[in-house]
Amino acid sequence: MNEKLSIDSASNKMIDKAEKENIELVWDRLKKMMPQCGFGTLGICCSICNMGPCSIDPFSDEKSKGVCGADADLIVARNLARKVAAGSAAHSDHGREIALALLEMAEDKTIDFKISDEEKTRKLASEFGIKTEKVDLKSITKALAVKMLSEFGKYEGNLTMANRAPAHQKEVWKRLDIMPRSIDREIVEILHRTNMGVDSNYKSVLLSAMRTALSDGWGGSMIATELTDSIVGSPAPVRAKVNLGVLKKEMVNIVVHGHEPLLTEAVYQEMKNPELISEAKAAGAQGINVAGICCTANEVLMRHGIPVAGNFLQQELALLTGAVEVMMVDVQCVMPSLSDIAGCFHTEIITTSHKAKFPDIVKHIEFQPSKAKAVAREIIRRAINNFNKREKSRVFIPDETMDLVAGFTTENVKYLLGGTFRGSYRPLNEAIVSGRIKGIAGVVGCNNPKVVHDFEHVSLVKELIKNDILVIQTGCSAIACAKAGLLRPEASIESAGPGLREVCEATGLPPVLHFGSCVDNSRILTAAVELINEGKIGKSFDELPVAGAAPECWMSEKAVAIGCYFVASGVYTVMGMPFPILGSKNVENFLCSEIESLTGGKFAFEPDPLKAAAMIIAHINNKRKKLGLKS
Query: DSSP letter string over 487-540?
Result: TSTTHHHHHS-HHHHHHHHHH---SEEE--SGGGHHHHHHHHHHHHHH-SS-SS
CB of 370 to ligand MSK, least distance (A): 26
Select the residue interacting with ligand SF4 from 31, 38, 40, 53 (CB under 6 A): 53
- My answer on whether omega of the bond before 53 falls inside 30° of 0, hence cis, is yes
Is residue 54 near ligand SF4 by the rule CB under 6 A?
A: yes
Q: What single string gives the DSSP state of each residue in 339-360?
A: HHHHTTSS-EEEE-BTTB---T
By CB under 6 A, name the one of 46, 383, 458, 527 that touches ligand SF4.
46
Q: Which option in ligand MSK, ligand SF4, none does residue 303 bind, with CB closer than 5 to 8 A by kind?
A: none
Residue of the chain from 137, 196, 374, 627 that contacts ligand SF4 (CB under 6 A): 196
At residue 372, what is the residue type? A
SS3 of 243, please? coil
Restricting to residues 513-532, name those near ligand MSK by CB under 6 A. 517-518
Q: Using the rule CB under 6 A, is 70 a contact of ligand SF4?
A: yes
Does the footprint of ligand MSK cover residue 333 (CB under 6 A)? Answer: yes
Number of neighbouring beta carbons within 10 Å of residue 135:
13
Nearer to ligand MSK, 243 or 540 (CB): 243
User: Per DSSP, which regions of 155-276 are E strands?
Assistant: 238-242, 252-258
Nearer to ligand SF4, 14 or 75 (CB): 75
Whether 230 and 411 have beta carbons less than 8 Å apart is answered as no
Our finding on whether 231 is near ligand MSK (CB under 6 A) is: no
Q: Which is nearer to ligand MSK, 270 or 330 (CB)?
A: 330
| Spatial distance between the Cα atoms of 210 and 559, rounded to a whole number of angstroms | 13
Rule CB under 6 A: is residue 47 a binding residue for ligand SF4? Answer: yes
CB of 64 to ligand SF4, least distance (A): 10
CB 26 → ligand MSK: shortest distance, Å? 12
Residues 463 to 482 in contact with ligand MSK, rule: CB under 6 A: 475-476
Gap between the Cα atoms of 368 and 353, Å rounded:
9
Burial of 35 (0-12, 13-18, 19+ CB in 10 A): exposed
Here's the x/- map for ligand MSK, 539-578, by CB under 6 A: it reads as ----------------xx-xx-------------------
x/- string (CB under 6 A) for ligand SF4, residues 151-190?
----------------------------------------
244: helix, strand or coil: helix
Cis amide linkage into residue 35, ω under 30° from 0? yes
Helix (H), strand (E) at residue 396: none
Task: Pick the piece of the chain touching ligand SF4 (CB under 6 A) from 66-74, 288-296, 393-401, 521-529.
Answer: 66-74
Rounded CA-CA distance 526/211 in Å is 18
Taking CA atoms, 515 is separated from 78, 121, 243, 524, 555, in Å, by 32, 20, 18, 8, 20
For position 58 contacting ligand SF4 by CB under 6 A, the verdict is no
Q: Which of 30, 51, 506, 610 binds ligand SF4 (CB under 6 A)?
A: 51
Interface residue with ligand MSK among 5, 446, 547, 629 (CB under 6 A) is: 446
Q: What does the binding site for ligand SF4 look like in residue numbers (CB under 6 A)?
A: 46-49, 51-54, 66-68, 70, 75, 196
Interface with ligand MSK (CB under 6 A): 259, 294-295, 312, 333, 445-446, 475-476, 517-518, 555-556, 558-559
